[in-house]
Each structure stands twice: as C-alpha cells, then as structure tokens.
Chain A
Amino acid sequence: MRNTKVSIAGVELKNPVMTASGTFGSGAEYGEFVDLNRLGAVVTKGVANVPWPGNPTPRIAETYGGMLNAIGLQNPGIDVFVKRDIPFLKQYDTKIIVNVCGRTTEDYVEVVERLAEEPADLLEINISCPNVKEGGIAFGQDPKAVEAITREVKKHARQPVIMKLSPNVTDITVMAKAAEAGGADALSLINTLTGMKIDIHRRTFALANKTGGMSGPAVKPVAVRMVYQTAQAVKIPIIGMGGIMNADDAIEFILAGATAISVGTANFHDPYVTEKIVDGIESYMERYQVEDIHDLIGAVR
C-alpha cells in the first residue's frame, strides 16, 4: 500500500486532495456527485461573524481558460454554520477546514473563538479575497498587517491556523515569511488574481463589481511559480492551488513544494473531478513506483 497520507500541522489527511474555499459550499451539493469520505479534507466557503449578502449580480464571467468571480463572500454567518454545516460534514470521514473571513481583526477573532469548541480540524484565514472592500485582501498586501492578523488569530485559535495568501503582491515570499513570523501553522496559496472583463457589445463591465478574482487553468503557471518560491522561503507546509484540473496538475504543485492541494474552479467543469484526482495521484505513484507521497513533495528544486 503506497502512502498518500500527509500531515498539516499535526492533522493527518488520508490524501492531499482538498476543495478550494468558495467553490464547494460546505460539501452538501457536491456530495451528490462525489464520496466526501474519499477526500483529504473539505475546505468550506468563507464564513464571517454575521451573515453577509455578497455582491450584486452578475457575479461571474468566463474568460479564456478560466473565470472571474466577485461573489463578495456571501455567507450565512457563523451561528448557522456551526449548527448546520459542521454537523453535516461530521457525518463523513474527512477533515474539516473552516475558511474564516472578516472585515476587521475583531471579526476574525470572533469567528475563530466561536469555532474553538467545534469539531473543525483546521482554520483557513482568508486575508486575500479581492472582492470585498474592507478586510479580506486589505490584510494580505502589507507584511506588517499579515503578521499582526496572524498573531492575533493565533492567540485566540484552538485549531492550527492556515493563512491564505493573495497573489496580488509584488513578492509573495515576503507575505509568506510575515505569516510564518506571526505564528501561522501552514499557508494556502494562491487566492484569485484580480482581473476585469468588459462586454464590448453592451460596453459595460462583465461583473457588477467591475473587477473579480481570476481562477482556472489559465492562472496555473503563476500559482506553481508562487508555490515553488514560497516553499523555498518558509518551513511551514503549503497547500497549493490555482487552476488544478486533473491529477497531473496536482502532482505538479506537489513537486513544486505543496504538501496538499485544493481543487476549485475544476469542480464547475466536472463535479466528479476531486475523486478523479485522488485516483489519478494513486495511478501516478503506481506508474513511477513512488512508495510515499513525501518523496514527491518539493522534489523539484
């Protein structure tokens, strides 16, 4: 039996495949297509201290090899989330990673404290959403702010903390080191790249929000490069994401230095894709006689 188990801050995942926050809800909808028991972890849609209505529509637009979204972190708030979504996911043999969003440091802390007694395995702190005016990315583009919010969250969190980083910066390793200095247990990257699409027939923006976060296979080379650079710069584990469509893409991120990977936009193209990637990673290990997935993590230097 080849080993596909990986560990993020002491939490063992049966395999490195997880879902990218915001593309998978809390698993209920995609659970009709994939067996959630087969996934390393489900990363839930960002949740705040109170319900957020999100942005006006249109909230998405297709682009060449990708898409733009400006959902604006619509979420039902932490009270509903702990009553409904966590118990749903607890029925499955998968790890629960709760993505946390906020407008202020206090918002993040409130959610993190609220989760202290809940059976969430890891927390992913979203300091990189490009689609909300306050909070989100504002925390993720200044190393001092990254370190400060990480430190504050760590002070209140019972679970290990993953900081989710933005690619919309000059040097992502500066932000990664700042998060590590603040006490982060792991890093997720990349969040979406800020983009824009104009409808030339209507002569207007394709998204009501004007700008949106770009994702999908078109961004993958940027993401692989950032995962590689970050892996050289920090000691904490990295969860790699950005345009992963299949197992080959997942292996590429792992070779670049990711301990685990998240699948996002690909779910929209194929609702069965996460399980296919789990199978495909096993096939790759079979083909190349890799006994332990750790032999692949960061193997290309």
Chain B
Amino acid sequence: MAKSKITADVIRQERIADGIYSMWIKAGEIASQARAGQFISVYTRDSSRLLPRPISICEIDREHQNLRIVYRVAGAGTEEFSAYQAGDSIDILGPLGNGFPEIAPEKSAFLIGGGIGIPPMLELAKELNCKKTAVLGYRDSQMFLKEEFEAYADVIVATEDGSAGTKGNVLDAVRENGLMAGEDGRMGTKPAADVILACGPTPMLRALKAYAAEQKLECWLSLEERMACGIGACLACVCGSKEIDEHSHVRNKRICKDGPVFAAEEVEL
C-alpha cells in the first residue's frame, strides 16, 4: 500500500464543540486507500514548525476520495489548521499506521472513545458489520459526533461533569447501563460484547486493558505518542511491548508503523 505526501484541498471546516474542529479534505489516493483506525500526518505552513501533527481519520468517503479529520486545538499548529477554510490547501501524508482489525459479523463489539479519541471510532462504527455499542466519554454536555454515531450503533455516554449520561468514565457508563461484558454478562448466556475496540487517553486504555483481561475479552487499543517521521524510521513514538518485538528486537513497538492499533495484551501501558 503506497503512502504519499500531497498538497490537498480543504473542502469544508466547522467547529463542532469548544476547541474541536471537523475538516473534510479532498485527499485523492490517500482517501481511497485509507481504513478505519489509520491516521494522517498534517503539516503546518509555518516553517518554524517542522514536525507534522498526527491526526486520526474520522471518516472516509472513498467514492469522492475525501477524508474527514476531527481534532482538538492543542497548540499553535492545530490552531493554524482550525483557521483553514474551503479552498485552502493543506499538506498531508498518509494513510499511516495499521488500522483496526476486521471483526466477525457474529460477534458483538464495544466501540469505546474517550475525548479526542472518539473521532476514529466513527469510521469504525460505519465499517463494522457486527452488533456494536458505542461508548463515548466526554468532558461535558458538548457531545460532538454523538448523533452521527447513532446512525450506526447503540450509543451510551459518560461525562466527567455528569451533565449528560453517566457521571464518570466510559467503564462507569458500561456498568450503569447494565452492559456487563464477557463471561459474567447479565444478558442471558450471551455477553453484551466479546470485543472491545478503543481509542482515548492512556488512563482509560489502561483501565480497559485490565477490564478486558478480567472479563476475558478480545481488546484492541489505539495508542498515541509524540511522533516525528510518522513512518517508522525515527523511533520516537514507541510503546512498551510484552514480548521482544520482531522489528526492534527490544521490548518496544513503533506506534506509527506497528500500530497505532495493538492487541491490548501485546503492549505495556
């Protein structure tokens, strides 16, 4: 699969919550080749900022070769992106990383997103053919993308401030909704989910890894780390791995190249 760096056109951009922006990009081959869980590197126009910003792909429109990214303004680079409008150009490199695995149709899945880890779960919700429940964790009642998830999955919500859904985190929402997963599942003999796919802050992923291990669930986590090259050469964005990695020959995996999606049991968080 060929990766490329191109100058693409911004189709449209809108602010969908405080500090959260949604941008559609005419991305050509990058869009036709992309899959759920992959990301693109986005470059700023300011030459004082050399490194690309890795941003997950939120939606793919293969027919029109368009990509959607939904990102949080976290610094000067993303601040610059947030000012782009239809017709502006944007330099991107992709598609990068491995993406989420396919899940068999007879299985049922929890798609769990926390904060700015929510966007990549939307394309996954569109693509998966199995029974799926989206569990979305927000800071407050600004529940960006929630309505779009409702077109593809059952949706339950947790907010940190309790202003909507369950007060607490995504696992609190799972428990409060009686969606016990795994062998202790309350829904008859069939668990509410036998696979977890998730993206979000590390403490959330750590908790999900422990939960999946305890409930004996298949679990896939999308990780994040500071990156430089984005293609597996510079070894900046590593995570700890349980076994010696076959590429690095140490207990390290490259998030940009070997991930960002890993089986929970293969990584140390």
Contact = CB atoms under 8 A, between A and B. Distances in A.
Contacts of A196: none
B151 interface: no
Contacts of B236: 57-60, 69, 71
A74 B252 contact: yes
Interface string B147-177: 0000000000000000000000000000000
Contact of B249 (A25, A45, A77): A77
A64 interface: yes
Contacts of A284: none
A29 B257 contact: yes
Contact of A32 (B2, B47, B50): B2
B231 A69 contact: no
B46 to A, nearest CB: 10
Contacts of A64: 48
Contacts of B231: 29-30, 32, 271
B229 interface: yes
Q: Report the contact-size class of chain B (Cβ under 8 Å from the partner).
A: 20 to 34
Contacts of B257: 29
A76 interface: yes
A216 B248 CA distance: 26
A62 B239 CA distance: 19
Interface string B47-85: 111111000000000000000000000000000000000
Contacts of B232: 25, 29
A269 B51 contact: yes
A10 interface: no
B50 A71 contact: no
B235 A265 contact: no
Contacts of B93: 271
Interface stretch (A46-54, A110-118, A149-157, A288-296): A46-54
A7 B172 CA distance: 66
Nearest to A207: B226
A134 to B, nearest CB: 18
Contacts of A61: 226
Contacts of A66: 50
A24 interface: yes
Contacts of A32: 2-3, 231
Interface string A24-50: 110001101100000000000100000
Instruction: Kindly name the residue among A53, A61, A62, A216 whose own CB sees the greatest number of chain B CB atoms within 10 A.
Output: A62
Contacts of A25: 232-235
A67 B228 contact: yes
B70 to A, nearest CB: 22
B238 interface: yes
B225 A80 contact: no
Contact of A71 (B52, B230, B235, B250): B235
Interface string B237-269: 111000000011111100001000000000000
Contacts of B225: 57-58
Interface string B29-59: 0000000000000010001111110000000
A74 B233 contact: no
A22 B235 CA distance: 9
Nearest to B231: A29
B186 interface: no
Given A74-B252, A76-B249, A272 B5 contact: yes
Nearest to A55: B238
A76 to B, nearest CB: 4
B74 to A, nearest CB: 10
Contact of A54 (B3, B43, B233, B250): B250
A65 B235 CA distance: 21
A67 B226 CA distance: 12
Contacts of B238: 54, 57, 59, 74
Contact of A60 (B228, B239, B250, B252): B228
B50 to A, nearest CB: 5
A224 B73 CA distance: 37
Contact of A51 (B5, B52, B234, B250): B250
Contact of A22 (B49, B51, B234): B234
Nearest to B247: A76
Contacts of B250: 51-54, 74, 76
A229 interface: no
Contacts of B50: 62, 65-67, 216-217, 265-266, 268-269
Contacts of A80: 249
A271 B252 contact: no
A33 B5 contact: yes
Contacts of A67: 50-51, 228
Given A30-B231, A32-B3, A59-B235, 4 more contacts: A51-B249, A69-B236, A271-B93, A271-B229
Interface of B: 2-5, 43, 47-52, 93, 225-239, 247-252, 257
19 contacts: A29-B257, A51-B248, A51-B250, A53-B252, A57-B225, A57-B237, A57-B238, A59-B226, A60-B226, A61-B226, A65-B48, A69-B228, A74-B248, A76-B247, A76-B249, A80-B249, A269-B52, A271-B5, A272-B5
